[in-house]
Chain A
Amino acid sequence: MTPLHRALMAVAALCLVGLFFLPMWEITLEAPQYPEGNELGILISIDKVEGAHENDLQNLNGLNHYIGMKKIEPDSIPELQWMKYIVGVLIGLGLLVAGIGKRSLILVWLGLLTAAGALGLYDFYMWEYDYGHDLDPHAAIKIPGMAYQPPLIGVQQLLNFKAHSWPASGFYMILVGAALAALTWWISRPKTKANA
């Protein structure tokens, strides 16, 4: 790996720093009472879950009591406490790969990144499942067979709300980091010795 390759790899690792500032995922809830421009939104970051606008989370929790959904309380989600350390370790390892300059380690880093990402999505899905299915039996609105799990990715109608679930800017930073690392791996491949 040349100094350029090492620099590229370092930049790839540092892309993950974006996760400390940018949300990874956004769920937007649209309804006749919450039309375009006035939707409710939730932004999910590595260390917090918050409303897209002031009071969105509070208003969403208020509405969700009708169907008996638990309140979304960021303090009760332990992942928000330790996910940042995992990201920190991944950044550290990425920089280490750049420092060592050994090409095959890039693949190891990419593997770890992918595994962490997949685990994160699985965890996200499980939380969605929990919120969507673990409903208060005394809720005012009970529809047999109805669950309120938002889609992992995509759009789904949940009663009067249309839930949009899409990656947000933080997630794209991960993709950019991964792409940069893959690119580094590719361009640092040993020159084929055509004349040898």
Chain B
Amino acid sequence: MKRLTLWSLLGLAIVASAVFVSCSKGGGKASVGAADAASAVYVAPGEKDEFYNFVSGGFSGQLAVYGLPSGRLFRVIPVFSVDPEKSWGFSEETKPMLMTSHGFIPWDDAHHPDMSQTDGVPDGKYVFINGNNTPRIARIDLKDFRTKEIIELPNSAGNHSSPFSTQNSEYVIAGTRFSVPIPNEDVSIDTYKEKFKGALSFIKMDKNSGAFNLAWQILMPGFDYDLARCGKGPSGDWMFYTCYNSEKANTMKEINASQNDKDFIVAVNWKKIEAFVAQGKGQIITSRYAHNVYNDETHSATSTIKTSVRVVTPADVPGCIYYIPTPKSPHGCDVDPSGEYIVGGGKLATVIPVMSFSKMIKAIESKAFDGEIDGISVLKYDACLAGEVKNPGLGPLHTEFDDKGNAYTSMFVSSEITKWSLKDFKVIDKVPTYYSIGHLCIPGGNSKKPWGKYVIAYNKITKDRYLPTGPELTQSAQLYDISGEKMKLLLDFPTIGEPHYAQAVPADLIAPNSTKIYKIENNKHPYVTRKEADARVERKGNEVHIYMTSIRSHFAPDNIEGVKVGDKVYWHVTNLEQDWDVPHGFAVLGNNNAELLIMPGETSTATWEPKYAGVYAFYCTDFCSALHQEMQGYVRVSGAGSSTPITWNNKK
């Protein structure tokens, strides 16, 4: 009864504020009654969201995890950029994850999360995401929301048409937006047309371990391979990539790459190429690229430099690669749930072209060709076209799908989402976005089985939508209800970095498998300290290794002497807790890196090179318990030539 009263009061308050809002403000607000919209996205305290939303962090280099429909941010998973909060790229264990053939790189530009799939449906195991600038692909494990693997891609630049999973995650594919000389060498940029090639990479994923292996690369003509998508169902053996700059321009691409009326969608039969490669087709060439793997048992990463890769040219694999003409510099490349339609987002075009997979196959069989480029047959546009969506808006970019036969395309220039039917390619509805939408996402909307309840817009510009924060404003997402005929704006929520693509799946695909602790008995870190009695300090020349434990609410040891100026001190801290949500932190005054944030059962290492003699404090940085403030200790640093012996206490 009491509860009912509270609810009705809350209801009244919402209705009252809705009336106020609708009286005082004009358009651009929630397009349904504010009270309806508020209740549609309201997740009461203690209740949980229905969907996870994994949103690219763009130039933050990370992956953000939100709940839907609330739009609440749960976590930022560090991927390509250092994260001092989580010690990512600062602890000795994680530094190798950010190694490349160009050395340690603390940043990248992360664009397109894709999820592992089983039979064309997201399976909640892994998210893959690309590093655009120094080409890399990462695999994030959704059991513990950690980046477990990063593989660098040689012969690539601007790793943008990446990563996209095949329908059973046999391969994660990646493509280069910028063509480069292969092998890369000191040549005049004016040799672009002869020397520059575009590499399409196929990373084989081990179904059990998730481990990556760069299986082969296709060296394509020097166009810009922009976005991609794997086929599904009947088209499951094929990959599709959009490309622009079929002009092969290397200066002022803004103009010079926008001359041709049509560029292309590339169709690649990866299954046939896989068979060719299995016969030894192609060529192994020298390349340098890093392969970084994080081990769950040692809680440590290793980085290996690989020195060769198999490449195939279109001539090595006849009948596997075709160009489908597509209007004007297409961007998005999306395949509908049935696998029959391939939608190109011609960002400079006035229509959305929809290609038919079955017509494409017929065109190949009947040799309906319109010339060839570097040995690759160009199919006739009309022979592949299923239809064009007329007057969709301006600047169509990306398309996602619901489970009722509809497609939703983002319109960058006219700032709107256009809903259209896959039956007759007619526009059904349009709804404004605020502003300049880039990608959009429907839960499972790139798969065989969309959960078509919401579409989320990821916008490039927010202007007047939020309180101003100086010249740089928050980035934003917008949630729309798509359960009915008309799309309804429900919620704006801010995002980190610049959001590009995203994935969303029902929470029950992921939440039940979430790791709570790492078992201490499985900890195979070379510097693990499994119990307090084993805590100790060892000197090896000028290295000092501190085997330290942490448990509520003390470190062992917590008094250390015998460190000297000039020593390199390794703090190997093992969190002995075996209880959920009880990490411990560690920091020592003057450490030139970052705190450690150590999960239960994990070992992490911070290095410290004290510069002056004295006594320095260290402490737990994560408020772990009632006596967290007491979780501290001292380390004595003596002069370089001193003879202070190594000693430590162990409780008391």
Residue ranges of A at the interface with B (Cβ–Cβ < 8 Å): 38, 54-55, 58-59, 62-63, 66, 140-141
* 9 A-B residue pairs with CB within 8 Å: A54-B578, A55-B517, A59-B578, A62-B551, A66-B625, A66-B627, A140-B626, A140-B630, A141-B626
Closest chain A residue, CB of each to CB of B46:
A35
Shortest CB–CB separation between residue B460 and chain A, in angstroms?
A: 41
User: For window 568-592 of chain B, which residues contact chain A by CB distance below 8 Å?
Assistant: 577-580
**B552 within 8 A of partner (CB):** yes
- Is A66's CB under 8 angstroms from B626's CB? yes
Shortest CB–CB separation between residue A2 and chain B, in angstroms?
A: 53
Shortest CB–CB separation between residue A143 and chain B, in angstroms?
A: 13
Interface of B is mostly: loop
Closest chain A residue, CB of each to CB of B580:
A38
CB contacts between A and B, total, < 8 Å: 21
Residues of A contacting B579 with CB < 8 Å? 55, 59, 62
Task: Give complex CA distance A54, B521 in Å.
Answer: 13
Residues of B contacting A140 with CB < 8 Å? 626-627, 630
Task: Give complex CA distance A192, B552 in Å.
Answer: 70
Task: Give complex CA distance A38, B517 in Å.
Answer: 14
Task: Give complex CA distance A58, B625 in Å.
Answer: 16
Residues of A contacting B625 with CB < 8 Å? 66
Closest chain B residue, CB of each to CB of A54:
B578
- Is B627's CB under 8 angstroms from A58's CB? no
Residues of B contacting A59 with CB < 8 Å? 577-579
Closest chain B residue, CB of each to CB of A56:
B579
Residues of B contacting A54 with CB < 8 Å? 578
Task: Give complex CA distance A141, B552 in Å.
Answer: 14
Chain B count of residues within 8 A CB distance of the other chain: 11
Shortest CB–CB separation between residue B297 and chain A, in angstroms?
A: 18
Partner of A58, one of B578, B580, B626, B630: B578
Shortest CB–CB separation between residue A71 and chain B, in angstroms?
A: 13
Closest chain A residue, CB of each to CB of B626:
A66
- The residue in B551, B579, B625, B630 that gathers the most chain A C-beta atoms within 10 A of its C-beta is B579
Chain B, residues 81-102, CB within 8 Å of chain A (1/0): the string is 0000000000000000000000
Task: Give complex CA distance A62, B578 in Å.
Answer: 10
Instruction: List the 3 closest A-B pairs by CB distance, nearest first.
Output: A55-B578, A59-B579, A140-B627
Residues of A contacting B578 with CB < 8 Å? 54-55, 58-59
Task: Give complex CA distance A189, B433 in Å.
Answer: 86
Interface of A is mostly: loop
Task: Give complex CA distance A3, B625 in Å.
Answer: 63
Task: Give complex CA distance A140, B628 in Å.
Answer: 12
User: For window 593-635 of chain B, which residues contact chain A by CB distance below 8 Å?
Assistant: 625-627, 630
Residues of B contacting A63 with CB < 8 Å? 552
Task: Give complex CA distance A55, B520 in Å.
Answer: 11
Chain B, residues 441-463, CB within 8 Å of chain A (1/0): the string is 00000000000000000000000
Residues of A contacting B626 with CB < 8 Å? 66, 140-141
- Known interface pairs A59-B577, A59-B578, A62-B552; 12 further A-B residue pairs with C-beta atoms within 8 A, sorted by A's residue number: A38-B580, A55-B579, A58-B578, A62-B579, A63-B552, A66-B625, A66-B626, A66-B627, A140-B626, A140-B627, A140-B630, A141-B626
Residues of A contacting B580 with CB < 8 Å? 38
Task: Give complex CA distance A140, B552 in Å.
Answer: 12
Shortest CB–CB separation between residue A25 and chain B, in angstroms?
A: 23
Shortest CB–CB separation between residue A56 and chain B, in angstroms?
A: 9
Residues of B contacting A38 with CB < 8 Å? 580
Task: Give complex CA distance A140, B578 in Å.
Answer: 22
Shortest CB–CB separation between residue B643 and chain A, in angstroms?
A: 35
Shortest CB–CB separation between residue B467 and chain A, in angstroms?
A: 33
User: For window 538-562 of chain B, which residues contact chain A by CB distance below 8 Å?
Assistant: 551-552
Task: Give complex CA distance A63, B551 in Å.
Answer: 10
Shortest CB–CB separation between residue B576 and chain A, in angstroms?
A: 9
Residues of B contacting A141 with CB < 8 Å? 626
Residues of A contacting B630 with CB < 8 Å? 140
Shortest CB–CB separation between residue B125 and chain A, in angstroms?
A: 24
Shortest CB–CB separation between residue A38 and chain B, in angstroms?
A: 7
Closest chain B residue, CB of each to CB of A33:
B581
Task: Give complex CA distance A141, B626 in Å.
Answer: 10
Shortest CB–CB separation between residue A32 and chain B, in angstroms?
A: 12
Task: Give complex CA distance A12, B275 in Å.
Answer: 70
Shortest CB–CB separation between residue A164 and chain B, in angstroms?
A: 19
Shortest CB–CB separation between residue A176 and chain B, in angstroms?
A: 35
Shortest CB–CB separation between residue A144 and chain B, in angstroms?
A: 18
Task: Give complex CA distance A62, B551 in Å.
Answer: 8
Task: Give complex CA distance A66, B626 in Å.
Answer: 9
Shortest CB–CB separation between residue B551 and chain A, in angstroms?
A: 6
Residues of B contacting A62 with CB < 8 Å? 551-552, 577, 579
Residues of A contacting B552 with CB < 8 Å? 62-63
Task: Give complex CA distance A4, B580 in Å.
Answer: 53
Task: Give complex CA distance A59, B579 in Å.
Answer: 7
Shortest CB–CB separation between residue A46 and chain B, in angstroms?
A: 26
Task: Give complex CA distance A58, B519 in Å.
Answer: 13
Task: Give complex CA distance A59, B517 in Å.
Answer: 12
Task: Give complex CA distance A40, B517 in Å.
Answer: 15
Task: Give complex CA distance A58, B532 in Å.
Answer: 14
Task: Give complex CA distance A122, B51 in Å.
Answer: 52
Residues of B contacting A66 with CB < 8 Å? 625-627
Closest chain A residue, CB of each to CB of B552:
A62
Task: Give complex CA distance A38, B582 in Å.
Answer: 13
Shortest CB–CB separation between residue A5 and chain B, in angstroms?
A: 50
Task: Give complex CA distance A63, B625 in Å.
Answer: 9
Shortest CB–CB separation between residue A62 and chain B, in angstroms?
A: 6
Residues of B contacting A55 with CB < 8 Å? 517, 578-579
Shortest CB–CB separation between residue B558 and chain A, in angstroms?
A: 15
Shortest CB–CB separation between residue A42 and chain B, in angstroms?
A: 15
Task: Give complex CA distance A55, B576 in Å.
Answer: 11
Closest chain A residue, CB of each to CB of B579:
A59
Shortest CB–CB separation between residue A194 and chain B, in angstroms?
A: 59
Shortest CB–CB separation between residue B234 and chain A, in angstroms?
A: 45
Shortest CB–CB separation between residue B48 and chain A, in angstroms?
A: 12
Chain B, residues 255-288, CB within 8 Å of chain A (1/0): the string is 0000000000000000000000000000000000
Closest chain B residue, CB of each to CB of A38:
B580
Task: Give complex CA distance A59, B626 in Å.
Answer: 15
Shortest CB–CB separation between residue B530 and chain A, in angstroms?
A: 13
Task: Give complex CA distance A38, B577 in Å.
Answer: 16
Task: Give complex CA distance A43, B578 in Å.
Answer: 18
